[in-house]
């Protein structure tokens, strides 16, 4: 099978990581793949904040969980929405016509690059709840989101702990063809 197709079909969301950092050279390759994603009108209006500082990752987790609780979402007391990953990348963009699609391309490139290099990843949307607990300016400063950009999503990266989970069944009858 083609290695690209194999990578796409084997990628899984990993929610348990070893306490071991990804080598800098591999992290740079993963980031390079991310920022080489296509974007509407080639604007490339995205920003990535790569966090490997465990204290900062834990603080983002704490604030997000507090925001979820404030928003009325039940969450376990010791939950870690970032799964104790040794690396978290925060993605932000200028809000424009296709920013969500553009960020989707970036994050998928990151996830596939990580998988191809033998690392695990998990795309996490709950980081948006940070803004329900704390001041936007403080959160943007912590995550180094540039002025004029908005937080979109996060992705956890690291060495998987244990085996990859099995693929979940795919829904049927989701494709129609017109010839």
This prediction's pTM: 0.93
pLDDT above 90 for 3: yes
DSSP code at position 33: H
Q: Which residues of 51-74 are buried (b: 16+ CB within 10 A; e: fewer)?
A: bbeeeebeebbebbbbbbeeeeee
Distance of CA 146 to the CA centre of its chain: 18
Residue at 140 is within a domain = yes
Residues 40-92 have pLDDT tens digits of 989 999 999 999 999 999 999 999 999 999 889 999 878 999 999 999 999 99
What is the share, in percent, of the chain residues with pLDDT greater than 90? 72
Range of the domain at 149: 10-158
Model confidence at 162, pLDDT cuts 50, 70, 90, reads confident
Spatial distance between the Cα atoms of 112 and 109, rounded to a whole number of angstroms? 5
In a domain, 177, yes or no: no
Determine the average pLDDT of the residues in 19-35: 98
What average pLDDT score do residues 98-117 get? 95
In a domain, 90, yes or no: yes
Query: Does a structural domain hold residue 60?
Result: yes
Q: How far apart are CA 77 and CA 145, in angstroms?
A: 28
Taking only the tens place, the pLDDT of each residue in 108-142 is: 999 999 999 999 999 999 999 988 766 788 888 88
pLDDT of residue 10: 92
Quote the pLDDT of residue 11: 95
Q: Is the dihedral of CA 93, 96, 124, 142 positive or negative?
A: positive
Higher per-residue confidence, 167 vs 31: 31
Per the domain annotation, does 179 fall within a domain? no
**pLDDT (0 to 100) of residue 119:** 98
Looking at residue 142, what is its pLDDT?
84
Residue that has been written with the tokens 């400063």 in this structure: 141
Predicted confidence (pLDDT) at residue 97 exceeds the cutoff of 90: no
* Residue 4 forms part of a structural domain: no
Host H or E run for residue 50: strand 46-51
- Residue 19: Cβ within 10 Å count: 11
**Domain total of the chain:** 1
Whether pLDDT at 96 is above 80 = no
CATH number for the domain that contains residue 87: 3.40.109.10
């Amino acid at each position: 099978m083609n290695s690209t197709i194999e990578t796409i079909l084997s990628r899984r969301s990993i929610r348990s990581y070893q306490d071991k950092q990804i080598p800098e050279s591999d992290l740079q390759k993963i980031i390079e793949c991310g920022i080489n994603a296509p974007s509407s009108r080639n604007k490339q209006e995205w920003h990535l904040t790569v966090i490997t500082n465990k204290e900062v990752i834990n603080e983002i987790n704490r604030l997000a969980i507090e925001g979820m609780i404030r928003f009325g979402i039940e969450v376990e007391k010791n939950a870690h929405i970032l799964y104790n990953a040794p690396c978290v990348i925060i993605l932000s963009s200028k809000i424009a016509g296709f920013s969500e699609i553009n960020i989707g391309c970036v994050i998928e490139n990151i996830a596939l690059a990580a998988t191809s290099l033998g690392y695990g990843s998990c795309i996490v949307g709950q980081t948006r709840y940070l803004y329900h607990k704390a001041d936007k300016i403080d959160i943007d400063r912590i995550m180094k989101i540039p002025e004029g950009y908005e937080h979109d999503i996060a992705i956890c990266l690291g060495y998987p702990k244990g085996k990859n989970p099995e693929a979940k069944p795919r829904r049927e009858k989701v494709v129609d063809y017109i010839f």
